[in-house]
């Protein structure tokens, strides 16, 4: 195991342990420092690291040998619920979820260590994104909006706290984010007019440390509600800022009661993780009336932008726009659509799309691109630092949006209907927004999340259930395997005993792929 920032301390403790006559075996113990520099043997955060790039430095599986990939193991959940979670891997154990269920599985063999079931019928069972970990403890959100801390060794419950009141219409599906001694958890709930918020919990005691509200309290005149927080944010340790995307305003399709931008719904916000105070915010969809949550991963990239080194934040947003922001202050660097959109009359001076009032839902319907599922959704994009490509599962789509007085001013307050869609994996040049290559992955459905690696591979999936390995330079297919169901999550990778594993979930099955042992194929780079 390698922990560069901790190398000396680690070496010292190893020596001490050796002197005491015992070897240090890993023991499901994840120190906050390890989150800052994840080892190649681990995938300790939802996005793999704090940056949200979903990019791995592993190179054993490479363009030259990826065609040889074989199945290492498959784990059957024996449930109908589709796996939508991105697993964690810590000390050789893989943790993943579906609603109300957590599994701990041997990352080498796929053998189950334990299975935790939270018994509730309340709340929303739409999906679950995974767990977070701090030291020897896991943090699991539930359909009834609880945050449960489990012992990573055996899945036993340490404590059970409430993120939000399920009786009001909240639920939670997200994987919390651990930053320092904060476990930051969010909520879903846009079937009711509720305030979306983030709540930070003490990782040991479960006490609430702070709460950040995305919108004013329900009932505030001329103000929006909403701004759910149902996806995991990212973190910049240097700036000590947490970045989060927020969901749509409510009522959802009827914006009449909430004039203006409806901040901070459909927004990207930067918060101080120690206090929960807002440092800056950027409204990605001002006055949204199409359910286009801006919760997609805020990807943090340090690189040149038009010749100047920048600390950037990039998001391919559900509303069809690719945003590049300066993440020190939230100022726009680039705003450009990455597929067909027809709901704006341009982009304002702050880089925000200007919604066309005539494209708000109407009693006789409006034709809108993209549809409500959006140009992309919760499945992760990936940023490949070697090529400077931002690779995303894009979904050109068209739909009809309606609202009328009878639909009211509560909850959904309208109706929308998808007409047609297809999925395309797109490689976006972050400096211009130009699409360098695109790879069609099928009609109708949406594609899978994306993982890139230093060897030049892009792993994703198509809408019929194939896992794909693409050449990151040009998008050409190098390997595929049919899994029986489209991937509804994002791939991860890790290396154990000198062997690189690729893990992908489809339907109710988790698959691990490796190169055959008999052919040593490590590629020197």
For binding to another protein (CB under 8 A), which residues are involved? 80, 82, 119, 121-126, 143, 166-169, 191-192, 291, 340, 342, 358, 362-367, 369, 371-373, 398, 400, 402, 404, 406-412, 415-420, 441-442, 444-445, 462, 464, 466, 468, 477, 480
Has 291 been annotated as catalytic? yes
| Residue 291 Cβ vs another protein, minimum distance, rounded to whole Å | 7
Q: Which is nearer to another protein, 206 or 418 (CB)?
A: 418
Q: How far apart are CA 357 and CA 177, in angstroms?
A: 37
Which DSSP helix (H) or strand (E) runs through 10?
helix 7-19
Spell out where 284-357 has E strands. Answer: 299-305, 308-316, 321-326, 331-337, 344-347, 353-355
What are the E-state strand segments in 222-330?
A: 225-226, 234-236, 241-245, 249-250, 267-271, 278-283, 299-305, 308-316, 321-326
Residue 358 CB burial class (10 angstroms; 0-12, 13-18, ≥19): exposed
| Residue 7: its H or E element | helix 7-19
Catalytic residue among 91, 291, 416, 462: 291
Please state the closest distance from residue 141 (CB atom) to another protein, in A: 16
Closer by beta carbon to another protein, 93 or else 194: 194
The answer to whether 515 touches 60, Cβ cutoff 8 Å, is yes
**Under 8 Å between Cβ of 295 and 245:** yes
Q: Quick one: 336 or 400, whose CB is closer to another protein?
A: 400
Least Cβ distance, residue 397 to another protein (angstroms): 9
Nearer to another protein, 11 or 367 (CB): 367
| Helix, strand, coil % over all residues of the chain, rounded to 5 | 5, 40, 55
Residue the block writes with tokens 């959100």:
141
Instruction: In angstroms, give the least distance from the CB of 463 to another protein.
Output: 8
Q: Which two tokens stand for residue 76?
A: 């059957």
In whole angstroms, give the CA distance from residue 75 to residue 488.
16
CB of 422 to another protein, least distance (A): 8
- CA within 13 Å, CB half, 139: 34
Q: Which stretches of 341-396 are assigned E, i.e. beta strand? A: 344-347, 353-355, 366-368, 382-384, 389-394
Distance CA 457, CA 100 (A): 34
For another protein, which is the closer residue by CB, 32 or 218? 218
Distance CA 64, CA 374 (A): 35
Residue recorded with tokens 């947003």 = 317
Q: How far is the CB of 98 from another protein (least distance, A)?
A: 13
Which is nearer to another protein, 9 or 168 (by Cβ)? Answer: 168
Min CB(16)–another protein separation in Å: 48
CB nearer to another protein: pick between 304 and 440:
440
Kindly state the tokens that stand for 43.
């995938």
User: Annotated active-site positions, please?
Assistant: 291
């Amino acid at each position: 195991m390698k922990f560069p920032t901790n190398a000396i301390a680690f070496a010292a403790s190893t020596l001490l342990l050796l002197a005491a006559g015992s070897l240090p075996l890993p023991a499901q113990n994840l120190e906050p420092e390890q989150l800052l520099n994840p080892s190649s043997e681990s995938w300790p955060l939802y996005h793999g690291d704090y940056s949200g790039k979903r990019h791995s430095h592993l190179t054993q599986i490479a363009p030259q040998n990826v065609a040889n990939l074989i199945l290492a193991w498959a784990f059957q959940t024996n449930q109908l619920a589709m796996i939508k979670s991105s697993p964690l891997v810590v000390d050789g154990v893989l943790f993943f979820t579906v609603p109300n269920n957590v599994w701990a599985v041997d990352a080498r063999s796929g053998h189950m260590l334990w299975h935790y079931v939270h018994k509730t019928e309340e709340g929303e069972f739409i999906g679950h994104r995974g767990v977070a970990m701090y030291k020897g403890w896991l943090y699991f959100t539930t359909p009834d909006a609880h945050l449960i801390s489990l012992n990573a060794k055996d899945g036993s419950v340490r404590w059970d706290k409430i993120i939000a009141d399920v009786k009001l219409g909240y639920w939670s599906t997200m994987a919390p984010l651990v930053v320092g001694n904060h476990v930051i958890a969010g909520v879903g709930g846009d079937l009711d007019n509720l305030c979306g918020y983030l709540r930070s919990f003490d990782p040991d005691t479960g006490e609430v440390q702070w709460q950040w509200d995305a919108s004013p309290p329900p009932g505030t005149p001329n103000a929006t509600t909403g701004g759910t927080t149902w996806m995991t944010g990212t973190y910049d340790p240097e700036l000590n800022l947490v970045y989060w995307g927020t969901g749509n305003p409510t009522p959802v399709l009827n914006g009449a009661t909430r004039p203006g931008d409806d901040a901070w719904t459909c927004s990207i916000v930067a918060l101080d993780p120690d206090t929960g105070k807002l440092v800056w915010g950027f409204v990605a969809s001002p006055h949204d009336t199409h359910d286009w949550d801006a919760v997609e991963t805020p990807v943090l990239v340090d690189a040149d932008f038009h010749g100047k080194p920048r600390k950037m934040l990039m998001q391919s947003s559900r509303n069809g726009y690719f945003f590049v922001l300066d993440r020190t202050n939230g100022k726009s660097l680039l705003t450009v659509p990455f597929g067909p959109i027809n709901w704006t009359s341009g982009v304002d001076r702050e880089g925000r799309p200007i919604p066309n009032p005539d494209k708000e839902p109407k009693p006789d319907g409006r034709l809108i691109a993209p549809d409500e599922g959006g140009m992309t959704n919760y499945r992760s994009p990936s940023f490949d630092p070697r090529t400077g490509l931002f690779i995303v599962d894009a979904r050109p789509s068209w739909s009809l949006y309606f609202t009328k007085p009878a639909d009211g001013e509560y909850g959904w307050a309208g109706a929308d209907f998808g007409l047609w869609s297809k999925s395309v994996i797109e490689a976006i040049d972050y400096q211009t927004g130009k699409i360098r290559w695109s790879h069609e992955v099928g009609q109708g459905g949406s594609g899978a999340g994306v993982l890139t690696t230093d060897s030049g591979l892009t792993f994703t999936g198509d809408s019929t259930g194939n896992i794909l390995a693409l050449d990151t330079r040009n998008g050409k297919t190098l390997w595929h395997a049919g899994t029986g169901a489209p991937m509804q999550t994002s791939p991860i990778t890790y290396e154990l005993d000198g062997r690189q594993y690729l893990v992908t979930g489809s339907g109710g099955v988790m698959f691990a792929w490796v190169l055959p042992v008999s052919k040593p194929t490590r590629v020197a780079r």
